[in-house]
């Protein structure tokens, strides 16, 4: 990464740290100004623009920008964030089936293909997938996934909860 890239990344991070200090349109304009410093159709800039639209209540535009960023070869942590955020926006826009597709594919990426920062977002993948599964009527799968993700975080009962989470997928639903 060049010093120019590092400077841009620092300014992007500083702007995001002050998100709540801006009105939505002003924040999007500030992100757009930073994005304009990058080459046209730069994947990282498109992602940041998408995230700015998403964070300020414009999910339709965010979806378009996330998809463009991914189409332009977004990589690494931003790629994983883009998939999570795209899937979340699609779910909120009434497309939970597409959200399930995206997040299931993301969840299926072998751990050895992810770096530590990307792996750290595995819980977020699971959480947003659980929401999308619930929206598609797959409540037991959603609960199993959410509880399975929670189990390792508990100070006790980890094994029991993980077992019960898996059992939700095979036990009759009681209806």
Cβ partners under 8 Å of residue 76, min gap 6 = 115, 117, 118
pLDDT at 174: 54
User: 29-51 pLDDT, tens per residue?
Assistant: 999 999 999 999 999 999 999 99
Its sign, for the CA torsion 7, 82, 66, 52, is negative
Report how far residue 121's alpha carbon sits from residue 64's, in angstroms, rounded to the nearest whole number.
Answer: 22
DSSP per position, 130-173: HHHHHHTT-HHHHHHHHHHHHGGGSSS-HHHHHHHHHHTTTS--
Measured from the Cβ of residue 38, the count of other Cβ atoms closer than 10 Å reads 15
Q: How is residue 88 written in tokens?
A: 């979340």
Put residue 137 in one of left, alpha, beta given phi > 0 → left and psi -120 to 50 → alpha: left
3-state DSSP percent of the chain in helix, strand and coil, to 5: 75, 0, 25
Q: What is the pLDDT along the chain (175 residues), one digit of tens a residue?
A: 777 899 999 999 999 999 999 999 999 999 999 999 999 999 999 999 999 999 999 999 999 999 999 999 999 999 999 999 999 999 999 999 999 999 999 999 998 999 999 999 999 999 999 999 999 999 999 999 999 988 888 889 988 998 999 999 987 765 5
């Amino acid at each position: 990464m060049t010093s120019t890239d590092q400077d841009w990344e620092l300014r992007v991070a500083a702007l995001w740290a002050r998100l709540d200090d801006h009105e939505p349109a002003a924040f999007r304009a500030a992100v757009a100004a930073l994005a304009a410093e990058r080459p046209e159709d730069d994947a990282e800039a498109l992602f940041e623009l998408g995230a700015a639209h998403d964070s300020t209540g414009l999910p339709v535009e965010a979806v378009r920008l996330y998809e463009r960023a991914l189409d332009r070869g977004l990589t690494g942590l931003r790629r994983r964030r883009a998939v999570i955020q795209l899937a979340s926006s699609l779910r909120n826009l009434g497309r939970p089936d597409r959200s399930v597709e995206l997040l299931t594919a993301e969840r299926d990426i072998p751990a050895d293909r992810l770096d530590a920062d990307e792996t750290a977002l595995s819980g977020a993948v699971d959480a947003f997938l659980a929401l999308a599964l619930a929206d598609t009527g797959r409540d037991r799968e959603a609960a199993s996934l959410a509880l399975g993700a929670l189990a390792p975080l508990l100070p006790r009962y980890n094994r029991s909860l993980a077992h019960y989470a898996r059992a939700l997928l095979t036990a009759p639903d009681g209806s």
